[in-house]
């Protein structure tokens, strides 16, 4: 395999090995550095043409395309199990490239490759992890890229984004807006940003003495509240609701998304029935573990389980979502094992507090539909051009048996000596 194929495998599977391990793990920074080290060698060899040792190493490296093009191709395929490795590689390229043109190319594609706020927070975390001790701030290129990311949203999209996104990976939108000095030309967008960065409401902003050319330029327009800011305030009120009926009305009439629903109200079947027709298919899959955890999906069928099964079993949505089979498989296993989190520590705490759920069984009808969805995804996901090996561990479960484990494993070893 040439270096491009190794990087592509890493982007898809998070490893250099030709197999995927079910148990989800956080990104291994050390492994990422190791996989991407050939890029660093090529950069160093270009900067030091007289270094014979570096030149010899560089000659052994084979790249069919620029790494940034590999990332764009992988993300645009829509079939990645997760984007962690792509985000890490983008941050690595920015920190590794010395040539201004190469860096600018990464910054240019960056705003269109990050899909949501959580991915933005994760990318910034990787960007900081890979920084040298004296380079923890945001450079001019990074500030421009972040500004373009916020500016590519409409005013209404920006209002929704800033209300729904909670902080993650040690960052919030307020942190990024302040540290990157994000300034947008659109007045409606500026109103929302200033409220998030500043005192919290337009009234408080007017009473605060701000200085600077940027604020002076938009201050006059702040006398009239934009539609985006009105929406922003309405969504904040929706997030504070305490009754399911009002939440259902907001979902059906205002098309408020799942992310805005207060967590206590997600224990209401009526709220979920209002959400089902409006959920993207990825969120429909994720809903299974939440519904089970809230005891809304039990072993026996109910009107809610039937309604959920109907939206889960939409094969057209499976194909259109372009979800990688690994994503579906991981969620299916969580549901089957009555778990909620991929993280082992969080799940251990969750299980200890929900022994009743752990001792129950997953709804067989929904589980059967999950298998059908997985099969449909495997038949239709976009091929990557690489071959992967799928292995099944048939011994680990039997080894836990007190009485038959040793005997069964011994027979298995004799019949499968390899």
CA atoms of 274 and 282, how far apart (whole Å):
17
Query: How many C-beta atoms lie closer than 10 Å to residue 74's C-beta?
Result: 22
Q: What's the CA angle centered on 296, arms 293 and 301, to 5 degrees? A: 125
CA atoms of 347 and 345, how far apart (whole Å):
5
**Helical ranges in 65-220 per DSSP H:** 67-76, 84-96, 100-113, 117-129, 140-151, 155-164, 173-179, 187-197, 202-207, 213-219
Could you tell me if residue 142 is inside a domain?
A: no
Burial of residue 355 (CB within 10 Å: 0-12, 13-18, 19+) is exposed
Could you tell me if residue 210 is inside a domain?
A: no
Q: From residue 30, how far is each of 26, 98, 105, 127 by CA, in Å?
A: 12, 21, 25, 14
Domain residue limits at 414: 388-418
Considering the domain architecture, whether residues 63 and 88 belong to the same structural domain is answered as yes
Output the pLDDT for position 200: 52
Could you tell me if residue 356 is inside a domain?
A: yes
Considering the domain architecture, whether residues 52 and 83 belong to the same structural domain is answered as yes
CA atoms of 239 and 303, how far apart (whole Å):
27
Could you tell me if residue 407 is inside a domain?
A: yes
Query: Does position 2 have pLDDT exceeding 60, yes or no?
Result: yes
- Among the residue ranges 138-142, 216-220, 246-250, 384-388, the one predicted with the least confidence is 216-220
Considering the domain architecture, whether residues 399 and 313 belong to the same structural domain is answered as no
pLDDT tens across 278-329, in order? 999 999 999 999 999 999 988 899 999 999 999 999 999 988 888 888 889 9
Output the pLDDT for position 77: 82
Q: From residue 224, how far is each of 162, 231, 376 by CA, in Å?
A: 20, 14, 51
Considering the domain architecture, whether residues 13 and 41 belong to the same structural domain is answered as yes
Cβ 365 vs Cβ 305: under 8 Å? yes
Query: Does position 205 have pLDDT exceeding 80, yes or no?
Result: no
CA atoms of 61 and 67, how far apart (whole Å):
13
pLDDT tens across 148-157, in order? 999 999 999 9
Average pLDDT over residues 5-16: 89
Considering the domain architecture, whether residues 338 and 410 belong to the same structural domain is answered as no
Pairs from 280-284 (Cβ < 8 Å, separation ≥ 24):
280/321, 281/314, 281/317, 281/318, 281/320, 281/321, 281/323, 282/321, 282/323, 282/327, 283/258, 284/311, 284/312, 284/317
Query: Does position 165 have pLDDT exceeding 80, yes or no?
Result: yes
Considering the domain architecture, whether residues 23 and 95 belong to the same structural domain is answered as yes
Cβ 328 vs Cβ 282: under 8 Å? no
Considering the domain architecture, whether residues 285 and 365 belong to the same structural domain is answered as yes
Considering the domain architecture, whether residues 11 and 100 belong to the same structural domain is answered as yes
Of the candidates 46, 45, 37, 47, the one whose C-alpha atom is nearest the C-alpha of residue 67 is 37
Output the pLDDT for position 324: 83
Q: Classify residue 61 by its DSSP letter.
A: -
Could you tell me if residue 180 is inside a domain?
A: no
Structure tokens at 24: 């989800």
Could you tell me if residue 182 is inside a domain?
A: no
pTM of the model: 0.80
Output the pLDDT for position 402: 53
- State percent of the chain over pLDDT 90: 49
Considering the domain architecture, whether residues 32 and 65 belong to the same structural domain is answered as yes
The set of residues, in sequence order, having a beta carbon less than 8 Å from that of 318 and lying 6+ positions away, is 281, 373, 376, 377, 380
The last residue of a domain, from among 72, 92, 113: 113
Of the candidates 264, 356, 370, the one whose C-alpha atom is nearest the C-alpha of residue 311 is 370
In sequence order, the β-bridge partners of residue 171 are 168
Q: Count the domains in the chain.
A: 3
Could you tell me if residue 261 is inside a domain?
A: no
Considering the domain architecture, whether residues 347 and 403 belong to the same structural domain is answered as no
Output the pLDDT for position 407: 58
The last residue of a domain, from among 54, 83, 113: 113
In the structure, what pLDDT confidence band is assigned to residue 41 with cuts at 50, 70 and 90?
very high
In DSSP notation, 227-288 reads HHHHHHHHHHHHHT---HHHHHHHHHHH---GGGS-GGGGG-HHHHHHHGGGS-HHHHHHHH
pLDDT tens across 243-287, in order? 999 999 999 999 898 999 999 999 999 999 999 999 999 999 999
Could you tell me if residue 175 is inside a domain?
A: no
The last residue of a domain, from among 113, 134, 160: 113
Task: Find the distance separating the first CA and the last CA of the chain, reported in whole Å.
Answer: 24
Q: What residue has token string 């090996």?
A: 389
- In three-state secondary structure terms, 24 is coil
Q: State the greatest distance between any 2 C-alpha atoms of the chain, in Å, as a whole number.
A: 82
Element spanning 413, H or E: helix 405-415
Looking at mean pLDDT, say which of 137-151, 350-364, 391-405 comes out highest.
137-151
Query: Does position 7 have pLDDT exceeding 60, yes or no?
Result: yes
Considering the domain architecture, whether residues 293 and 399 belong to the same structural domain is answered as no
Considering the domain architecture, whether residues 294 and 320 belong to the same structural domain is answered as yes
CA atoms of 139 and 299, how far apart (whole Å):
54
């Amino acid at each position: 395999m040439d270096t491009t194929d190794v990087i592509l495998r890493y982007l898809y599977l998070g490893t250099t090995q030709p197999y995927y391990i079910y148990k989800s793990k956080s990104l291994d920074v050390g492994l990422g550095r190791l996989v991407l080290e050939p890029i660093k060698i090529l950069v160093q060899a270009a900067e030091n043409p007289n270094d014979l040792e570096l030149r010899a190493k560089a000659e052994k490296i084979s790249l069919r395309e620029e790494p940034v093009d590999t990332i764009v191709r992988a993300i645009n395929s829509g079939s990645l199990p997760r984007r962690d490795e792509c985000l890490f590689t983008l941050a690595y390229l920015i920190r590794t490239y010395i040539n201004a043109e190469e860096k600018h190319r990464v910054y240019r594609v960056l705003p269109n490759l990050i899909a949501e706020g959580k991915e933005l927070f994760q990318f910034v975390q990787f960007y900081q992890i890979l920084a040298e001790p004296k380079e923890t701030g945001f450079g001019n290129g990074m500030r421009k890229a972040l500004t373009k990311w916020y500016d590519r949203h409409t005013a209404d999209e920006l209002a929704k984004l800033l209300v729904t996104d909670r902080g993650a990976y040690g960052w919030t939108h307020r942190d990024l807006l302040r540290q990157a000095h994000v300034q947008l030309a659109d007045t409606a967008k500026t109103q929302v940003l200033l409220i998030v960065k500043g005192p919290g409401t337009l009234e408080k902003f007017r009473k605060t003495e701000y200085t600077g050319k940027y604020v002076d330029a938009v201050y006059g327009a702040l006398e009239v509240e934009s539609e985006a800011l009105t929406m922003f305030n309405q969504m904040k009120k929706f997030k504070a609701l305490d009754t399911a009926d009002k939440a259902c009305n907001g979902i059906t009439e205002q098309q408020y998304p799942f992310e805005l629903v207060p967590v206590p109200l997600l224990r209401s079947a009526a709220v979920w029935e209002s959400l089902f027709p409006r959920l993207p298919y990825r969120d429909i899959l994720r809903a299974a573990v939440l519904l089970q955890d809230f005891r809304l999906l039990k072993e026996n069928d109910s009107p809610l389980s039937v309604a959920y099964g109907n939206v889960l079993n939409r094969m057209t949505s499976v194909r259109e979502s372009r979800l990688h089979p690994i994503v579906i498989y991981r969620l299916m296993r969580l549901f089957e094992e009555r778990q909620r989190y991929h993280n082992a520590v969080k799940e251990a705490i969750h299980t200890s507090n929900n022994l009743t759920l752990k001792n129950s069984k997953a709804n067989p009808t929904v589980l059967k539909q999950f298998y059908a969805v997985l099969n449909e995804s495997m038949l239709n996901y976009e091929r990557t051009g690489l071959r992967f090996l799928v292995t099944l561990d048939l011994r680990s479960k039997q080894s836990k048996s007190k009485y038959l484990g040793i005997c069964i494993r011994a027979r298995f070893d004799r019949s499968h000596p390899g």
